[in-house]
Structure 1
């Protein structure tokens, strides 16, 4: 598997680690600002299959140091349970709350307010779904490399998560901690800000995945269907994926995110409206 067994020379690793520490010390302990009507996510994440869109009826698998597909510059190695579009939605809102406190400090919220913000039904099943998503993201190890980072950055999407007390009873306010390393990924010049109401209104799947991907490009360039299959982490045959792709493109036009699209010889070209 490309990149899974290669190692940097020891001196380079030490130098890279020292540069990471220096970069962290030089940066503010807070994430950048964005309006309440938006959510922000690093381009490297949107342009990868980290949050895939496999069928929700398929059992999630555990990935052990697997290279995740990335379109364009960068490499992502991942260890943990498979992440999907519902996890991305939860992470988007969590990071939005986290920007209001210093990184490394506790982020508190009621499960009711969080579920309501996601647009999920207010019921016990949604609270458990939220708990499962947060627990899943806590148990992750992600190594991201790109030209702008200059080296591998190792992070967990969530540093710590607590929803039950010492008696294993539900807490009225849940607690999450996001590590300081996250500031390195959230550089203002390499973030995509998406409309929150639009994002959470989309069904989890190809439509929401491609919304994020094309939102990270002001002027999207043509891309092959087979490349989008990899981006979505789909296991569908390409001809079946193409059918679902056309439905997703039609939906993105309907919500006025895309102005137009066409597929010519398996090359997908889109024009953004905004």
Structure 2
């Protein structure tokens, strides 16, 4: 410490010889010590400070203290929520999209925003269905129809969910395959055994009839005898087995549906649960539970009604033609090839398919379901 004091005093004396007052010389020496310890924090040895004092004459203490160059504030790390908010904002404000992006081209922001919107729609749909269950509403409350009628969702009527393939051809097994739909904006992916208009469609429509007055999501009960009678099938062992096979196929279904009308439905089964249970008289009773999400297919009047006794008597091709017709107030011409795709038919001969469609038109006229139906210029025409 003595050497530091000696060095400081020597430095002050030299400053005073140059005409500086003792007070100013002492102040400059102090500044030198401060500057050295500030510029080199942690290095405060007496020898170091003495050397700094010796060099103090080279320091202009009157000069303004240099300010460090301004640095940009650290960027705030964006969270997932921030990114999603940006995505939604970009959807609402197209000008926020990256410049140069092609019109109509999906950007990463657009994709994220679409997923956010879809998720919100799914949550909204689940919430509404939950409220309907709590209110103990029935399918008939959502889509009322008289007892002499049956119903079919419009998306089912305009798609190849129920096919008209030849009875002698083994049913296909689908593995998340895209089912043809007339509206390209509607996508239906199906996993399960092929469903046919000849039997599965009728059985499902009759099950909906049994369930229409029950609270959504609760069990409904009926006998196979009752089902065969209502569908119009003979009462014998063959048709008992056929009805059971239909119900089991309907239970083993899984549909993934994407539509602008209701966003996305995942894992929908046409029959959620099914088993045979005995009643008090030891008779076999069918116990069935339908998925609560089925109501979405019928919501907002997106379904059509058919006169049951006439409808069930139609051939599969005629029934599928009427499915499409009944969803339009004024049906416009339907190309034969489009109708073939709606039917899920594997017919490869255009002439044969045209003749089969003409026969279906005659059936509809004979059943008084349409005023007029005919094939002309490779299209089906109809007047309801």
Q: Is 1:216–2:327 an aligned residue pair?
A: yes
CA distance in 1, matches of 2:379, 2:366: 21
* Moved segments of 4+, more than 3 Å: 8-14, 26-29
Shift of 1:259: 1.6
Q: Which has the higher contact order (CA 8 A, sep 6+)?
A: 1
Cα RMSD after superposing both structures:
1.8
Question: 2:344 is matched with which residue: 213, 227, 233?
Answer: 233
Deviation at 1:74? 1.7
Query: Which segment is superposed worse, 254-263 or 117-126?
Result: 254-263
**Matched-pair contact (CA < 8 Å) for 2:273–2:290:** yes
Match of 1:21 among 126, 133, 144: 126
Residues 76-91 of structure 1: pairs in structure 2 closer than 5 A: 76-85=188-197, 86-91=199-204
Q: Equivalent residues in 2 for 1:92-241 (5 A)? A: 92-149=205-262, 151-154=263-266, 155-163=268-276, 172-203=284-315, 205-237=316-348, 238-241=350-353
Q: Deviations over 1:31-57 (max 9, x none)?
A: 122111001111011111001111111
Q: Check whether the contact 2:357–2:375 (CA below 8 A) recurs between aligned residues.
A: no
Give the distance between the partners of 2:254 and 2:225, measured in 1 at CA: 28
User: Contact 2:122–2:264 at 8 Å: present in 1 too?
Assistant: no
Name the one with the larger strand percent.
Answer: 1
Q: Render the CA deviation track for 1:20-75: whole Å, top value 9, x for unaligned.
A: 21221344641122111001111011111001111111100100111111112522
SS in 1 for 2:170: coil
TM-score w.r.t. structure 2 length? 0.64
Deviation at 1:264, TM superposition (A): 3.0
Q: Give the gaps of 5 or more residues in structure 1.
A: 1-7
Aligned length: 259
Residue-by-residue CA offset, 1:64-117 (whole Å, 9 max, x unaligned): 111111112522111100000110100000001111211211110111111111
Larger Rg: 2
Match of 2:60 in 1: none
1:150-175 alpha-carbon deviations (Å, 9 max, x no partner):
x111210000010267xxxx952111
| 2:165 is aligned with 1:57 | no
Distance 2:205 2:270 in 1: 11
Inter-partner Cα distance in structure 2 for 1:227 and 1:14: 33
Residue 191 of structure 1: CA displacement? 1.2
The 1-side partners of 2:294 and 2:374 are apart by 37
Partner of 1:68: 179
User: What secondary structure, in the 3-state scheme, does the structure 2 residue paired with 1:206 have?
Assistant: helix
Distance 1:92 1:25 in 2: 24
Helix, strand or coil: the match of 2:312? helix
Q: Aligned equivalents of 2:291 and 2:203: distance in 1? A: 17
